[in-house]
Amino acid sequence: MKIIKTKWFRRRKYSGWGLTPVTWQGWVFIAVLIAPLIFLASKIELGINLLSPLFISFAIYFAIFLGVIFAIMAKIHTDERERVHEAISDRNALWFLIFVLALGIVAESFSPDLVRTLYPINPFVFGGIIGAWIVKVISAIYLDKID
Amino acid sequence: MTQEELALKVGVARQTIISLEAGRYNPSLRLAYDISRALKAKNVEEIFKF
């Protein structure tokens, strides 16, 4: 018997990666899946020992969480046109991410302190991820219009 | 047969049928064959022009 049904979800078309629940069962499932993750994350404090039972439990549950999400995503039916669109969008996003990260490596090799002193988080990593997400959204919308 | 019915029969999204009808999307040989069969065509060329 199947506990999780793929018809509860649809793949995110324009807003990046992941699942969108389309039925109340899907929303309940996501809430039940995410609740322990939020509970464990709320107990973790900055500077926690990475070998502490709490952090290990969080890491294990997070891996299970991702595994379940990926398993559902893999089973959701998509037709050939949707698969091609998704592949092209992901490719564009990945190229953008690679470009920004390569730019970051060059910038850091020329001026190692500049990036660290200017920003609390590495702007190339952060910008690369956000930019890749934007590229994926634009690509998906564009492909849906022309193809 | 409606677009929705054809989409269900060949296992694609309705949007894919809309794109095919508008001539924006080139189907794989498999999909072209499935659609031809679903529409009871004698051959693929009866439905698609390449």
Report the gap between the CA of B42 and the closest CA in chain A (Å).
24
Four-residue CA torsion sign, A56, A61, A65, A67: positive
Tokens of B31: 């999909």
Q: Which residues of A touch B25 (CB under 8 A)?
A: 81, 147
Q: How far is CA A135 from CA A70, A83, A94, A123, B25, in A?
A: 22, 17, 9, 17, 22
Is the pLDDT at A93 greater than 90? The verdict is: yes
Q: CA of A71, closest CA in chain B: separation in Å? A: 21
Is the per-residue pLDDT at A139 higher than 60?
Answer: yes
The CA distance from B32 to B50, in Å, is: 11
Confidence band (pLDDT; 50, 70, 90) for A4? confident
Which among B3, B12, B35 is the top mutation candidate for probing chain A, defined by the most A β-carbons within 10 Å of its own β-carbon?
B12
Count of CB pairs separated by less than 8 Å, A with B:
26
Q: Tell me which residues of chain B, numbers 1 to 50, contact chain A at a CB-CB cutoff of 8 Å.
A: 11-13, 15-16, 19, 24-25, 27-28, 30-31
Q: Letter for the amino acid at A119? A: Y
Q: Which two tokens stand for residue A52?
A: 């502490």
Q: Give the span between the Cα atoms of B3 and B9, in whole angstroms.
A: 10
pLDDT at B35 over 90: yes
What ipTM was reported for this prediction? 0.83
Strand partners, A33: none
Cβ distance B24 to A147 less than 8 Å, yes or no, reads yes
- pTM confidence score: 0.74
The number of C-alpha atoms within 13 Å of A39 and in the hemisphere containing its C-beta is: 8
Give the A window 90-119 contacts with B, CB below 8 Å: none
The answer to whether B36 touches B46, Cβ cutoff 8 Å, is yes
Asked if B13 lies within 8 A of A80 by C-beta distance, the reply is no
Q: How far from chain centre, in Å, is Cα A23?
A: 22
Q: Closest by alpha carbon to A68, among A34, A22, A23?
A: A34
The stretch A74-82 carries a mean pLDDT of: 86
Q: What does R_g of chain B's alpha carbons equal in angstroms?
A: 10
Q: For position A1, what pLDDT does the model report?
A: 52
Distance from CA of A14 to the nearest CA of B (A): 15
Dihedral over Cα of A15, A19, A23, A29: its sign: negative
pLDDT for the residue numbered A8 = 84
Asked if A147's CB is within 8 angstroms of B19's CB, the reply is yes
